[in-house]
Structure formats: structure tokens, C-alpha cells
């Protein structure tokens, strides 16, 4: 029941974030939606995900506010609203149909298919000795996945360093 209330709150906050014309107000509504997602993770008994979601949401909102506080982009409303509206409705219909077809094939909510992960949960505590089973799995059995995430983060930082370096700009101006 609480989960449904939070989901409705998140949907309203997301719609407000899209509709709002002021960029700062839109960011505040977006952070409300992220807080709702963190609470939903807590209700579904996933405190690991809740902590990560809350912290990353704060970081993203701070960076977005710092990056967008001085350049408020105006909304572009041109004359082609018939084409835009029909294309939007078409894509929403496609998304709903394919989403329904895909969700029908998935296992039920709360009863996942435990083909590979059952072994991890059964033998995870004896093999690693870690009380937090989520961290034990992600950093021992599934360590390559975490290595991939770390590689993505590292590549993002290196790419940003390469973009913002000063030497390339000076040479380009000459």
C-alpha cells in the first residue's frame, strides 16, 4: 500500500519535472522523484540500493544545478504540433504494447528465477564470511561486473579530462 502511494507520488513529481518551465523548479521536482525512488527501495527491503540511489541523486542534482543555474533554456514551441503530438502518441502506444508483451514473459514480482543466484545466496556466507550478502556477491562472485562498472567510471573521467584540457584549446585558437 505504501509502495503504491510512493509510486503515485513519483509519477506526479516526474510529470511536474517535465511540465515545469523554470529549470530550477524542474530540478527540485526531479529530486523529489529520486527521493521517492529511494524510499521505494527501502520499502522493498533493499537498503544497499536505497543508500546508493539517495547519494547519487544528491550528487547529480548538485552538478545539474551548478551547470544550469546561469543558462535557463527557453522552451521551443514551433508550429508543427500536429506532427509532434501524433508521433508522441505513436511512440507511447508502441512502448505500451511491447512493454506488455515483454512483461508477460517475465517471472512474477517478488519471485525471481533463481537459476544462478541461488548458489550464491546459499553458500555466500560460508565462502566469504561477509554479513552483507549483497556486497559479498557483487565484490566476490560477480567481481567482473563491478570491474566493468569501475571501467565505465574511469573512462568517463578520462574522457572529461581529455575534453577540458587547456593545451588543445590554445592550439586551436592559434
Partner 1 sequence: MKNETGMTLIVKTVTRLTTGLIMIYGIYIILHGHVSPGGGFAGGVIIALSLIHLVLAFGKDVLGRKFTIERGVFLMSLGALVYLVYSAAGFMGKRQIPEGAAGSGIFNTGLIPLGDISLGLLTGIGLFVIFMLLVSLADREEK
Binding site for partner 1 (CB under 8 A): 47-48, 50-52, 55-56, 58-59, 62-63, 66-67, 70, 125-132, 134-136, 138-141, 143-144, 146-147, 149-150, 153-154, 156-157, 160-161, 164
Residue 113 vs 164, nearer CB to partner 1: 164
Residue 98 vs 154, nearer CB to partner 1: 154
For 121-141, give the DSSP string.
HHHHHHHH--S-HHHHIIIII
Residue 20 vs 138, nearer CB to partner 1: 138
> How far apart are alpha carbons 144 and 137 in whole angstroms?
11
Sequence-separated (6 or more) residues with CB below 8 Å from residue 23: 68, 72, 73
Residue 79 vs 129, nearer CB to partner 1: 129
Closest contact distance (angstroms) between CB of 36 and partner 1 is 19
Closest contact distance (angstroms) between CB of 108 and partner 1 is 26
State the CB neighbour count (10 A cutoff) for residue 52.
Answer: 13
Sequence-separated (6 or more) residues with CB below 8 Å from residue 31: 57, 58, 61
Closest contact distance (angstroms) between CB of 37 and partner 1 is 15
Amino acid at each position: 500500500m505504501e509502495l503504491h502511494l510512493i509510486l503515485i507520488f513519483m509519477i506526479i513529481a516526474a510529470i511536474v519535472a517535465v511540465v515545469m518551465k523554470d529549470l530550477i523548479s524542474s530540478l527540485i521536482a526531479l529530486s523529489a522523484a529520486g527521493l521517492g525512488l529511494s524510499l521505494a527501495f527501502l520499502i522493498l527491503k533493499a537498503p544497499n540500493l536505497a543508500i546508493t540511489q539517495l547519494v547519487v541523486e544528491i550528487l547529480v542534482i548538485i552538478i545539474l544545478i551548478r551547470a544550469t543555474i546561469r543558462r535557463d533554456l527557453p522552451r521551443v514551441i514551433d508550429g508543427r504540433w500536429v506532427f509532434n503530438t501524433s508521433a508522441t502518441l505513436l511512440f507511447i502506444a508502441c512502448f505500451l504494447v511491447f512493454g506488455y508483451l515483454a512483461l508477460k514473459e517475465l517471472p512474477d514480482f517478488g519471485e525471481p528465477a533463481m537459476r544462478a543466484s541461488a548458489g550464491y545466496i546459499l553458500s555466500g556466507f560460508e565462502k566469504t564470511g561477509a554479513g552483507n550478502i549483497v556486497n559479498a556477491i557483487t565484490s566476490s562472485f560477480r567481481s567482473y561486473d563491478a570491474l566493468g562498472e569501475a571501467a565505465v567510471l574511469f573512462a568517463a573521467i578520462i574522457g572529461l579530462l581529455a575534453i577540458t584540457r587547456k593545451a588543445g584549446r590554445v592550439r586551436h585558437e592559434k
